[in-house]
């Protein structure tokens, strides 16, 4: 059974870089049918999509965040990562990684499997 697990610092200082990794277990990240996603949720608020990346490197970004984001796949480690620079308090949120079924015929085009989420607080 596929599982996703986020990891990274829970506290980041303003203007610094947030770095998170999602480890995929129980299946391969190098699968044609899926993109790997980051979604965040500020405290008490709704979900915000950040990015989708395919193991091939094809990537989609939320334009509102694109200038501050770097996302990559580490195939040998079955992981994918998110870096967000110049963070502010507005970036304080629970960050989820997820598997998005898309890009192929008959895709569900939905976030099927989610990690448990990791809280990141931006504060000095």
To other proteins, the closest distance from the beta carbon of 48 in angstroms equals 7
Under the binding rule (CB under 8 A), the answer on residue 96 touching other proteins is yes
**Half-sphere exposure in the Cβ direction for 100 (13 Å, CA):** 19
84-to-52, 55, 57 alpha-carbon distances in Å: 14, 20, 18
Backbone angles phi, psi at 34, to 5 degrees: -130, 145
3-state secondary structure of 26: coil
Backbone angles phi, psi at 65, to 5 degrees: -120, -10
To other proteins, the closest distance from the beta carbon of 62 in angstroms equals 4
- Site track 9-48 with other proteins (rule: CB under 8 A), x = hit: -------------------------------------xxx
To other proteins, the closest distance from the beta carbon of 4 in angstroms equals 9
Are the C-beta atoms of residues 36 and 97 closer than 8 Å to each other? yes
Beta strands of 3-78 (E only): which ranges?
A: 3-7, 11-12, 18-25, 34-41, 48-53, 59-61, 69-74
Under the binding rule (CB under 8 A), the answer on residue 89 touching other proteins is no
To other proteins, the closest distance from the beta carbon of 13 in angstroms equals 26
Nearer to other proteins, 5 or 16 (CB): 5
Among 1, 10, 63, 124, binds other proteins (CB under 8 A): 63
Positions in the binding site for other proteins (CB under 8 A): 46-49, 52, 60-64, 96, 98, 102, 108-112, 114-117
């Amino acid at each position: 059974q596929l599982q996703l697990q986020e990891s990274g610092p829970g506290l980041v200082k303003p203007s610094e870089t947030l770095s998170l990794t999602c480890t995929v277990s129980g299946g391969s990240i190098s699968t044609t049918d899926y993109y790997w996603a980051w979604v965040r949720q500020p405290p008490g608020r709704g979900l915000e999509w950040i990015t989708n990346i395919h193991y091939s490197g094809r990537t989609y970004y939320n334009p509102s965040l694109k200038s501050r984001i770097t996302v990559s796949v580490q195939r040998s480690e079955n992981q994918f990562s998110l870096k967000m620079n110049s963070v502010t308090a507005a970036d304080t949120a629970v960050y989820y990684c997820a598997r998005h079924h898309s890009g192929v015929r008959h895709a569900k085009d939905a976030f099927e499997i989610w990690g448990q989420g990791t809280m990141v607080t931006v504060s000095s």
